[in-house]
Amino acid sequence: MNKTINQKAWFFVIPVFILVAFNAVVPLMTVVNYSFQETFANNVFTWEGTRWFKQILRSERFHAALGRQFLFTGVILAIQIPLGIAIALTMPKKGIGVSFCLILMSMPLLIPWNVVGAMWNIFALPEIGFLGHLLNDMGFNYNFTQQIGDAWFTTILMDVWHWTSLVVLLSYAGLRSIQPAYYQAAEIDGASRWAVFRYIELPKMKKVLTIAILLRFMDSFMIYTEPFVLTGGGPGNATAFLSIDLVKMALGQFDLGPAAAMSLIYFFIVLLVCWVFYNLMMRNESQT
Amino acid sequence: MSKITLKKLSHSYLDKQNFDSDWALRDVNIDCQDGGAYALLGPSGCGKTTLLNIVSGLLNPTKGKVFFDDKDVTSQTPVERNIAQIFQFPVIYDTMTVYENLAFPLKNRGMTDGEIDSRVKEIAEMLELTKTLNNRASGLTADGKQKISLGRGLVRSNVNVIMFDEPLTVIDPHLKWILRSKLKELHQEINRTMIYVTHDQTEALTFANQVVVMHEGQIVQTGTPVELFEKPKHTFVGHFIGSPGMNILPCQIQNGIPAIDGVKISIGTEIKKKSSFAKTEIGIRPEFVSFSEDGIPVKILKVSNTGRHKIIDTECKSGKIKILSHSSKEIPSGSAFLSFDKKYTYAYGDSWIIE
């Protein structure tokens, strides 16, 4: 088939091109620019090569923040994915209960992130907050503003409360799309409830779960607002995840060069993990 | 293996039933002999899948009872009833190999590995799946997958009945023939009761010894393919079976003799009952209509030649009449007279045959 040549078509691409240029390419290139240079006042730049990258990669502060970040993301994924699937499995399949549950599940997702942080801050305050007061009344010595364990516990609990719904909604959609004949066939084959989950529901949910894990990984890995409002990264640096640490470096200390280098490293880590994970999950798909 | 009896079965998916149309099944009675091949034939939504699911135990009937060998199994689960069912589209366990798929029903019933192995291999051989046994099931084509579903149904040697719910819907036409004859072959080989649900008359008529025709939740006729063709008991059977279907024309009955457009029609049976019907009709298959010197005057509308025979569309005052004649025969043009073969002409009162 011969292609029709019509160069005017480029005009239709221009708006998108401009939009992408201004919201992605130009800011990213600015960061790249900063990451290789040292800035002083009055817009004086000096070339530094890969110095900031080396500095960041060797910095203990960055290692610690990265470690905390992986731990946090690992923990919330380990809780939210199984919990989300479990809730989706117990949700009603028809009737008025469906809308009720769906609305209930959507609520946490609709709350602005800084409001979530503020809510949990007040909720967990040891003296006046419901959770804090309750835990102390029950005999636990709970104070998330001073004790590292408590700060982590509260941050994780908040994230689980805020985001498990997303996993629930995606899993529920995946479950609802399974044809009834699969369940009927399993019933006739004499499959146990566990076998139905293992051999029908889980494989059929694979795609939505891949999406859920990717989204939850990216969001939790880049989490900023909620822990910033809740703990401010403290006590000390205990809950200073990568983005909190990054903002401290860039805006608090005005170390633009190292902060830019850190941004890029941060960006590549997210990209790399997502790419590896996606390819692992989809490897079997392409074989079939 | 067992005999299956359905007694006064009615089912509704609604909580309250006010009208006839609220019932998916109405007062169904069937006797399936041990080892027979049965087909449930009817258009979509006539209740055949509902009926099948009640036999398999996936659904509990609103009213009525199901017996296997005179034993009431109405409240038993599919596992307790020990049946096999194959669905409209292939149901396979994606993450398992073909072998594991076939072994699954046996494993769930706690058979030993040795027994499972010999059984799976036997079935795979029968279905020509031996070469693909170690492949992942999700990589197979639609007909390969349906063969696995079929295999999972056949792998247990002691099932009471094997049920097929339009199993060839997703299969390519040229493979349909192959799989269909495979099924027929299997039936002769393992000699087990089989119930086959379909809306395709060719499938039903070629597969089954006994065809059960369903319409709006009721059984309108049960019989051999020949009986259904030659003597439809309900106008629906006449319409649904045969291509083109039966000609159904409104008629008037005076002194026990039916007439169309004032022309008296002689039929095979006598109308004894002086019963009053809301509507009376004459049914005649296009195969048994011919041109003659006198009879019903018609206008010839269209002649289509299918190669083997001609289909002639004609019209009389009461309605249209189709005629099927050999393609070498001369067809008069303009207007003509038609006569019906007395032996295959039936009168219907309120859609049911008058005999």
From first to last of the 288 residues of chain A, give the pLDDT tens digit.
Answer: 577 778 888 888 999 989 998 888 888 888 888 888 887 767 778 888 888 888 888 888 899 999 999 999 999 999 999 999 999 999 998 888 899 999 999 999 999 999 999 999 999 988 888 998 899 988 888 888 888 899 999 999 999 999 999 999 999 999 999 988 899 899 888 889 999 999 999 999 999 999 999 999 999 999 999 899 988 887 888 888 988 988 888 888 878 888 889 999 999 999 999 999 989 888 766 544
Q: Which residues of B touch A187 (CB under 8 A)?
A: 58, 77-79
Tell me, what's the pLDDT at B192? 84
Any CB–CB contact under 8 A between B94 and chain A? yes
Contact A287 B139 (CB under 8 A): yes
Edge-to-edge strand list for the sheet holding B194-198: B84-86, B162-165, B194-198, B37-41, B210-215, B218-223
Closest CA to B281 of B232, B240, B315, B314: B232
2.40.50.140, 2.60.40.10, 1.10.150.130, 3.30.70.580: CATH of B243-353: 2.40.50.140
**Residue A7 CB neighbours (<10 A):** 6
Which candidate in A177, A183, A184, A189 is best for mutational testing of the B interface (most B CBs within 10 A)? A189
Number of structural domains chain A divides into: 1
Contact A203 B95 (CB under 8 A): yes
Q: Which residues of A touch B103 (CB under 8 A)?
A: none
Q: Which residue has the tokens 């045959």?
A: B353
Residue B3 CB contacts under 8 Å (≥ 6 apart), including other chains? B31, B32, B33, B34, B68, B69, B70, B193
Once rounded to an integer, what is the mean pLDDT over residues B190-214? Answer: 86
Contact A288 B139 (CB under 8 A): yes
Task: Confirm whether A49 is domain-assigned.
Answer: no
Tell me, what's the pLDDT at B309? 86
pLDDT above 90: percentage of residues in chain B: 5
Contact B89 A204 (CB under 8 A): no
The shortest C-alpha distance from B125 to chain A (Å) reads 21
Tell me, what's the pLDDT at A288? 43
Q: Which residues of B touch A185 (CB under 8 A)?
A: 85, 87, 91, 149, 152
Instruction: Identify the sign of the CA torsion B110, B111, B114, B117.
Output: negative
Task: Confirm whether A13 is domain-assigned.
Answer: no
Instruction: Return the C-alpha torsion angle B227, B229, B235, B237, nearest 10.
Output: 80
What element of type H or E holds B229?
Answer: helix B225-230
**Residue B306 to residue B291: CA distance in whole angstroms:** 19
The CATH number covering residue A69 comes to 1.10.3720.10
Split at pLDDT 50, 70, 90, the class of B272 is low
Once rounded to an integer, what is the mean pLDDT over residues B238-254? Answer: 87
Tell me, what's the pLDDT at B14? 84
Any CB–CB contact under 8 A between B88 and chain A? yes
Task: Confirm whether A137 is domain-assigned.
Answer: yes
Contact A203 B78 (CB under 8 A): no
**Residue B211 to residue B39: CA distance in whole angstroms:** 5
- Give, in degrees to the nearest 5, the angle at Cα A30 between A26 and A33: 135
The shortest C-alpha distance from A204 to chain B (Å) reads 8
pLDDT above 70: percentage of residues in chain B: 99
Length of chain B: 355
Rounded to the nearest angstrom, the gap between the alpha carbon of residue B155 and the centroid of all alpha carbons in its chain is: 26
pLDDT higher than threshold 90 for residue B310: no
Task: Confirm whether A93 is domain-assigned.
Answer: yes
Tell me, what's the pLDDT at A285? 64
Once rounded to an integer, what is the mean pLDDT over residues B200-216? Answer: 87
Q: Helix (H, G, I), strand (E, B), or coil: what is residue A57?
A: helix
Tell me, what's the pLDDT at B241? 87
Tell me, what's the pLDDT at B95? 87
- Which residue in chain A is spatially nearest to B155 when comparing CA positions? A189
- Which residue in chain A is spatially nearest to B87 when comparing CA positions? A181
Q: What is the CATH number of domain B4-230?
A: 3.40.50.300
Contact A195 B77 (CB under 8 A): no
Task: Confirm whether A120 is domain-assigned.
Answer: yes
- Which residue in chain B is spatially nearest to A196 when comparing CA positions? B93
Tell me, what's the pLDDT at A68? 93
Tell me, what's the pLDDT at A284? 65
Tell me, what's the pLDDT at B140? 84
Any CB–CB contact under 8 A between B83 and chain A? yes
Amino acid at B340: F
- Give, in degrees to the nearest 5, the angle at Cα A58 between A55 and A60: 110
Task: Confirm whether A34 is domain-assigned.
Answer: no
**Residue A6 CB neighbours (<10 A):** 7
Any CB–CB contact under 8 A between A189 and chain B? yes
Domain extent for A121 = 62-254
Task: Confirm whether A57 is domain-assigned.
Answer: no
Tell me, what's the pLDDT at B207? 84
Contact B88 A185 (CB under 8 A): no
The shortest C-alpha distance from B221 to chain A (Å) reads 29
Contact call for residues B16 and B175 (beta carbons, < 8 A) = no
Task: Confirm whether A96 is domain-assigned.
Answer: yes
Contact A188 B104 (CB under 8 A): no
Contact B84 A188 (CB under 8 A): yes
Q: Which residues of B touch A191 (CB under 8 A)?
A: 104, 108
Which candidate in A183, A188, A283 is best for mutational testing of the B interface (most B CBs within 10 A)? A188
Instruction: Identify the sign of the CA torsion B139, B109, B161, A182.
Output: negative
pLDDT higher than threshold 70 for residue B275: no
pLDDT higher than threshold 90 for residue B46: no
